[in-house]
Structures are given as C-alpha cells and as structure tokens.
Amino acid sequence: QQPVQSPQAVILREGEDAVINCSSSKALYSVHWYRQKHGEAPVFLMILLKGGEQKGHEKISASFNEKKQQSSLYLTASQLSYSGTYFCGTEYPAGNKLTFGGGTRVLVKP
Amino acid sequence: GAVVSQHPSWVICKSGTSVKIECRSLDFQATTMFWYRQFPKQSLMLMATSNEGSKATYEQGVEKDKFLINHASLTLSTLTVTSAHPEDSSFYICSAGDVGRAGEQYFGPGTRLTVT
C-alpha cells in the first residue's frame, strides 16, 4: 500500500524551513528519500533504517519514528536548489522493493 | 558514486510497434534492477523487479506479456514494450542497487516514450 505524504505542495522563501511527512499503514523496515527535478530521474538523498535514526544531507535531515510508522524530512534554511518533488520510498520487512508516496512538490522562491 | 544509464533517453514510436529500453549499471554489479513507470505529475509506480538469471517479478496489474523484461547480466536489464499503444506513453525509469550497499537505489535518467 502506498505511503501517504503531506503536504502535497509547499512554497517557501529562500532561507525558510519546511517539514515533509511520510506515513505508512504497515510496519516499516526502512524509508528512503529522493528528490526529483522536472524531467529528470529521482536523486537519492538518504535512507533511514528502523531504530529511530536521524540522518542528514547538507541542510536536509530526516527522522524515522518506527512506532508511528512515519518519517519526516526537514528542509532547513532552504535554498533555491531545493526546489523539486520529494518522494519517500518505503521498504517493508517482507520485501526488498520500494513503494513510493505521492510526492511533495517544493518550490523555493528568492 | 554509483551510476545507472538508460538508453534511449527518449523515443517516439508508432502504435503497434515494439520498443526496447536498456538499463545499465556502469560502475557496479546489480543482481536486482527495478522498472518504474511515471505519468506526468504522479508518483513512481513499480512495474517489475528484474532478477539476473531468472524471471522478472511483475507487480499486480502489469501485463508480463506486454512488458518483457530480460536481465541478461549483472550490469544490464532490458524492458521491451510490445505492441505499444498511446496509453503506454510515459516516463520509464530503472533503478539498481549496489550489491555491496544494501538498500540504496540509484536511478537511471529515464526514458520518455511517446506512442503515436
């Protein structure tokens, strides 16, 4: 079942922060975050394994709450280059494939 | 870093013809590759899991006779769209994981297919 991402879209000014959430109805093994620019392939940002890990990629960090079966991606002091569509991909204990959420479109304005 | 290539990057074909898309892992070996389809402004939908040396595993609702997958080596998987129709027009993306780094998936640049 597809994880649910929220919000669907967000508009930011350069330097502002944003949080993107990814929720699953089933227990998760890992959560992967990707960013996709228009017309391009998704680019890997980070992977979080169960255990409540929090990881970071430049000023983009993420957390994984195993109990709540959700992950959050934090865009801190956003830059113009952060614009794009962010997808979470969830991996369940029984399988080795990713199921992607519907995506969150982020637009960072000057 | 791990690099995955796809060829062609775009293709236009006539209805009823077949199109082959190649996915290669350039600097690592991949026992498993994944094929996704993405319609405009929508999410990535997994079509099938391609396994080197064995049959592909298709997701529910994906016609295996229409979307033929061959994973001939540890660096190459191909997707053939047979008897293409306009509704097959989409962005097809493959991904592969480095066998030495479980979990991370690297995406190819995608192939935009337009069926006229």
pLDDT tens for each residue of B65-104:
999 999 888 899 999 999 999 999 999 999 997 554 446 7
Nearest CA in chain B to A48: B103
For B14-37, what is each residue's pLDDT tens digit? Answer: 999 999 999 999 988 888 899 999
Whole-number average pLDDT of chain A: 90
Q: Which residue has the higher pLDDT, B115 or A67?
A: B115
Q: Could you give the angle at the alpha carbon of B29 between the alpha carbons of B27 and B30, nearest 5°?
A: 125
Q: Which residue has the higher pLDDT, B1 or B110?
A: B110
| Interface list for B 19-48 with A (CB within 8 A) | 32, 34, 42-46
Kindly give, in sequence order, each residue whose CB lies less than 8 Å from that of residue B102, ignoring residues fewer than 6 positions away.
none
Q: Is B97 in contact with B32 (CB distance < 8 Å)?
A: yes
φ, ψ at B115 (rounded to 5°): -110, 120
Q: DSSP letters of A29-87?
A: SEEEEEEE-TTS--EEEEEEETTT-EEEETTEEEEEETTTTEEEEEE-S--GGG-EEEE
Considering only the beta carbons, identify the residue of A43, A47, A100 that sits closest to B44.
A100
Start-to-end CA span in chain A (Å) = 37
CB contact under 8 A, A89 and B105: yes
- Name the nearest CA neighbour of A34 among A105, A107, A89, A90: A89
CB contact under 8 A, B43 and A89: no
* Mutation to test the B interface, candidates A20, A44, A85, A91, most B Cβ within 10 Å: A44
Q: How far apart are CA A16 and CA A76, in angstroms?
A: 7
For A7-59, what is each residue's pLDDT tens digit? Answer: 999 999 999 999 999 999 988 888 999 999 988 989 989 888 876 666 666 78
Percent of chain A with pLDDT over 70: 92
The single residue listed with the structure tokens 């890992």 is A30
Supply the pLDDT for residue A11.
98
Supply the pLDDT for residue B114.
97
The single residue listed with the structure tokens 């865009």 is A75
Q: Which residue has the higher pLDDT, B114 or B102?
A: B114
- Name the nearest CA neighbour of B93 among B72, B108, B114, B79: B108
Give the dihedral sign, CA A68/A101/B2/B102.
positive
Supply the pLDDT for residue B100.
45
Q: How far apart are CA B48 and CA A97, in angstroms?
A: 10
Q: How far apart are CA A63 and CA A21, in angstroms?
A: 10
Radius of gyration of chain B (CA): 13
Q: Could you give the angle at the alpha carbon of A20 between the alpha carbons of A93 and A78, nearest 5°?
A: 130
* Mutation to test the A interface, candidates B105, B106, B112, B114, most A Cβ within 10 Å: B105
pLDDT at residue B58 tops 90: yes
CB contact under 8 A, A41 and B109: yes
Considering only the beta carbons, identify the residue of A2, A32, A102 that sits closest to B105.
A32
Supply the pLDDT for residue B98.
59
